[in-house]
Structure 1
Amino acid sequence: MASVSGLGVDGLVSGLDTTSLINSLMTAEAEPQTQLKTQVTNTQTTITALQGLNTQIASLTTLATTSKSSTSLSLFTTTSSSANATATAGTNATAGTFDVVVNQVAQAKVGVSAAMSTWPASGSGSTTPAVTIVKADGTKVDVTPSSNSIDAIVTAINASSTAGVKALKVAAGTDSSGTAQYRIQLQSTTTGAQSDFQIYSGTSSDVDAGTATNILTATGAAVIKPAQDAQVTLYAGTAAEQKISSSTNTFSDLLPGVNLTVNKASTDSITVGVAQDTAGATAVASGLVSALNGVFALISTKSAVVNSTDSSGNKVVSGGPFTGDSTVRGANDALVSAASMPINGHSPSEIGISINKDGTLDFDQDKFQTALASDPAGTQSMLSALASRVADAGTQISDKYSGQLTGVITGQQSMVDTMNDQISQWDIRLAARRTALEAQYSNLEVQLSQLNSQSSSLTSGLASVPAVYTGA
């Protein structure tokens, strides 16, 4: 228990339980602060609920923004009659089939030098080690190694950011004198005919002068794989036969919106099919409806009024954090209207999106797919318009700068901050009040002790006074 000058407050003289008495007085004194704390807790609960709703509506807005694209339903699947070729289709593809023959696949050039113990001197007789790589377009890249050792050559080539070639040191046994021999394997870093290269011992000037040594054409050297483009043939065996090349194994926009990737050459014709992805398109529409219903369910759950009884058996009616919140109600109404109002005189129910009596949405998959099959452009237009309205409504509600819910959350948080400041001020005030009460009751005990002492002195003094004889 708190004390003054080291003396306990509890009534040593008075017999009073001053600790409990002071605590009771402080409880009464702290009632305004207690109410503030309760208000902070309730407001924070509301803020948390509003933040959850705001996040969910923001996610809905993002989804609606994607769904409102004029090509959101233009989804396609592809098939191939052979694993040697696969296809992907974009939103600008057209359903249909085509045949293709894979003549060859793209590959990087791989060459290997003759066995050597050190990098050979250039044809000009220079003893300074030099490497020149000549690309397919004639571009020359000079590489300057630190020495003519195989390791130095490999390191210098691999360190070049413009050579377009990587080198590898490969053991090749020993020569007749027992000296270790190595080959340098060289590979272009890209595929296709344009990745072709030659490598010389000598500078670019030596190459121009014809005095440099071509490492890949020297005796004992070899080109393991030539640089080549991938090539396919359309309409093979007909008068319309057409060969198409690609520096990689992927042919971009071989047909509008269709990319073909090949991985093995074959003389067999491969049939590639492109079909509308009805399931994928349906998922776009149903996903939007599900996201809307998720928002509506959250609002409904946290707006529900609950009837219960307290510990005394009295009926208690309590609302959720959204009960009576006009901003939340307005957000719900805005999203319902955006998803259910007519579009150019047509109801969204025509594409399978309808509103129920409880304010939620229903999605009829069969009806949507029927509408998509019979009028793909009209179905896309209606879904895009609906999604656009939802996205606009969601932005007005949840925009992180100007959204209606964002503003409410900011205001509520400011209120909490203010109340927390007031609670802190009450802490100071109550601490001072407790100190004053403890001092007051401690002084009371001291005064009672003094009075008791005086009383004892008087009693003792009176006891020592002789009795007065009055006679008999």
Structure 2
Amino acid sequence: MGISLDGLSSGLDTTSLIASLMQSESIPQNLLKAQVTSTTAEITALQSLNAKIAALGVLAKAASKPGALDLYSASSSNTNVKATAGAGATGGELQVVVSALAQNQIGVSAAMSAWPTPATITIVGHGGPVEISAASGSLDDVVTAVNASSAGVTATKVAAGKDSGGNPVYRLQFSSKTTGADAAFSVYQGTAANVAAGTATNVLTAPGAAITKTAQDASVKLWAGTSAEQTVTSASNTFTDLLPGVSVTVSATSTDPTTITIGRDSSAVASKASALVDALNLVFSVISNQSASSTVTNADGTTSLKAGVFAGDSTVRDIDDKVMSAATMPIDGHSPSEYGISVTKDGTITFDTDKFQAALAADPDAVNAALQTISTRVAAVTDIASDKYTGQITQRITGDQSSVTSLNDQVAAWDIRLASRKSTLERTYSAMEVLLSNMKAQSAALTSQLSSLSSSSSGS
């Protein structure tokens, strides 16, 4: 372990002296470190802004697509008929009478204790015959084999009492996995070849068996009671082709007609406009907060103002101006404020839902066109700013990251340089102390010799 002997000969505090000299020598490196810190802070702020602009772009691009604002809602006069409007829906109404609900098929076998040997089952349905081989004649094995097959049918073993000998017997219940007329099926004891030859036994029509629920489509009547009456069927209880863009789900039959009404959904359109304004304000907020000065406490206890990361940043200021212009410039001579989108004194945008919906009710096509124009303009600006390859902010981030890498390399080089300089200083001062120590020793020896000579001369 090294021992530090400060100023044994010189009386100097060499450790403090070297530390002071090294502090001076480290000034260039400290400037580099400060630059790394400030550039890293800039990168973090730019990344945050880039993310907010990208999110704004997603909303703007979605709203700018053709038909994106043609939003409709559906209502029904009967709770047993639910209607939902989606893309492609248009205004109007339709009356339907629900004649039947879709259902799957369920059938049960006669009571049995085991499946006849060989344990082969063939299920014939809409997709053709599916031949199934069970591991054994055990009803549990038959159930397992049916449920693992591609026949689209499930099997369940149900207790059915005891036979004449007191042994437990069971029925196998078979159910189609889907509803609709095409879900009908037959279950046979035997192979597919036996079925084709007519020698297989139909398990569901044998004595003691029964089909307890018949597979059927749901059906509704349109214009019931008129010469134009028409029946529409569906394999499920949901109809997707009654009206463009409208899904209708039925849950009970009826004799009276149910009225389905499709109308423009002004609330949904307003919600999209509001979301776009919120995203715009989030971008403005990030820029404003990162541009503002803040009070900081210095090392000596005094305070001073520190400029924000974006203060004086021409790139950020240019993007801020472009986004604001895209959102607030007139459309065909009309200010967005006519539709409830207005600029405030503090550089943000407000959205007046009531004013927007009133304008939408008065002229939906004009308002939708205006909102799409704003969205298209904003989307174009977000691409300029945050495109992952060519965006202004993206390129700034990439450039700053390269600068930080280079600066860190320079800091590391200074570490080596400063370590070498400190080692040199330590050797220099150590050598000086040794030299001074030698000189003191020589001085003491000379003094002793002179003293001896002086004593000898006096004695003679």
Deviations 1:78-126 (A, max 9, x none): 3333332211012432334433322222111111111212112xxxxxx
Quote the Cα distance in structure 2 between the aligned partners of 1:196 and 1:312: 88
1:255 to 233, 239, 243: 243
Classify 1:84/1:452 alpha carbon distance in 2 versus 1 (closer, same or farther; 3 Å). Answer: same
Quote the Cα distance in structure 2 between the aligned partners of 1:159 and 1:8: 82
Quote the Cα distance in structure 2 between the aligned partners of 1:22 and 1:232: 96
- 1:154 maps to amino acid: V
The match for 1:135 is 125
What TM-score comes out, normalization by structure 2 length?
0.93
- 2:321 aligned counterpart, secondary structure: helix
**Structure 1 range deviating more: 87-96 or 255-264:** 87-96
The match for 1:412 is 400
Classify 1:20/1:202 alpha carbon distance in 2 versus 1 (closer, same or farther; 3 Å). Answer: same
The match for 2:205 is 217
Quote the Cα distance in structure 2 between the aligned partners of 1:38 and 1:253: 66
- 1:336 aligned counterpart, secondary structure: helix
Which runs of structure 1 show a deviation greater than 6 angstroms over 4 or more consecutive aligned residues? 311-315
Q: Is residue 90 of structure 1 aligned with residue 82 of structure 2?
A: no
Q: Is the 8 A contact 1:12 1:445 kept in 2?
A: yes
- 1:216 aligned counterpart, secondary structure: coil
1:392 shift after superposition: 0.8
- 1:88 aligned counterpart, secondary structure: strand
Classify 1:87/1:198 alpha carbon distance in 2 versus 1 (closer, same or farther; 3 Å). Answer: same
- 2:109 maps to amino acid: S
Quote the Cα distance in structure 2 between the aligned partners of 1:280 and 1:290: 15
Q: Is the 8 A contact 1:142 1:203 kept in 2?
A: yes
- 2:99 maps to amino acid: N
Deviations 1:294-351 (A, max 9, x none): 2112212212245778577978443211111111111111112211223334333332
Deviations 1:161-203 (A, max 9, x none): 3x11111222333322243322222111111110000010111
The match for 1:146 is 135
Quote the Cα distance in structure 2 between the aligned partners of 1:169 and 1:307: 78
2:316 to 324, 328, 347: 328
Q: Is the 8 A contact 1:109 1:195 kept in 2?
A: yes
The match for 2:437 is 449
1:36 to 32, 40, 61: 32
Quote the Cα distance in structure 2 between the aligned partners of 1:50 and 1:167: 61
Q: Is the 8 A contact 1:71 1:380 kept in 2?
A: no
Quote the Cα distance in structure 2 between the aligned partners of 1:439 and 1:179: 104
User: 1:293-332 to 2 correspondence within 5 Å?
Assistant: 293-306=281-294, 316-332=304-320
Classify 1:203/1:310 alpha carbon distance in 2 versus 1 (closer, same or farther; 3 Å). Answer: closer
What TM-score comes out, normalization by structure 1 length?
0.91
Quote the Cα distance in structure 2 between the aligned partners of 1:307 and 1:168: 75
Classify 1:283/1:457 alpha carbon distance in 2 versus 1 (closer, same or farther; 3 Å). Answer: same
Classify 1:185/1:308 alpha carbon distance in 2 versus 1 (closer, same or farther; 3 Å). Answer: closer
- 1:385 aligned counterpart, secondary structure: helix
2:419 to 408, 425, 431: 431
The match for 1:347 is 335
User: 1:10-409 to 2 correspondence within 5 Å?
Assistant: 10-120=6-116, 127-136=117-126, 139-161=128-150, 163-306=151-294, 316-409=304-397
Quote the Cα distance in structure 2 between the aligned partners of 1:189 and 1:469: 133
Q: Percent identity?
A: 53
1:408 shift after superposition: 0.6
Classify 1:175/1:308 alpha carbon distance in 2 versus 1 (closer, same or farther; 3 Å). Answer: closer
Q: Is the 8 A contact 1:107 1:228 kept in 2?
A: yes
Classify 1:131/1:470 alpha carbon distance in 2 versus 1 (closer, same or farther; 3 Å). Answer: closer
Classify 1:378/1:91 alpha carbon distance in 2 versus 1 (closer, same or farther; 3 Å). Answer: farther
Quote the Cα distance in structure 1 between the aligned partners of 2:23 and 2:349: 52
Quote the Cα distance in structure 2 between the aligned partners of 1:201 and 1:307: 88
1:412 shift after superposition: 0.7
**Structure 1 range deviating more: 201-210 or 226-235:** 226-235
**Structure 1 range deviating more: 258-267 or 51-60:** 258-267
Quote the Cα distance in structure 2 between the aligned partners of 1:132 and 1:369: 62
Classify 1:444/1:269 alpha carbon distance in 2 versus 1 (closer, same or farther; 3 Å). Answer: same
Classify 1:214/1:307 alpha carbon distance in 2 versus 1 (closer, same or farther; 3 Å). Answer: closer
Quote the Cα distance in structure 1 between the aligned partners of 2:42 and 2:287: 12
The match for 1:124 is none
- 1:142 maps to amino acid: E
Q: Is the 8 A contact 1:72 1:380 kept in 2?
A: no
- 1:424 maps to amino acid: A
**Structure 1 range deviating more: 107-116 or 350-359:** 350-359
Quote the Cα distance in structure 1 between the aligned partners of 2:108 and 2:64: 56
- 2:118 maps to amino acid: T
- 1:400 aligned counterpart, secondary structure: coil
- 1:468 aligned counterpart, secondary structure: helix
Classify 1:215/1:463 alpha carbon distance in 2 versus 1 (closer, same or farther; 3 Å). Answer: same
- 2:114 aligned counterpart, secondary structure: coil
Quote the Cα distance in structure 1 between the aligned partners of 2:329 and 2:285: 20
1:158 shift after superposition: 1.6
1:8 to 4, 7, 15: 4
1:433 shift after superposition: 1.3
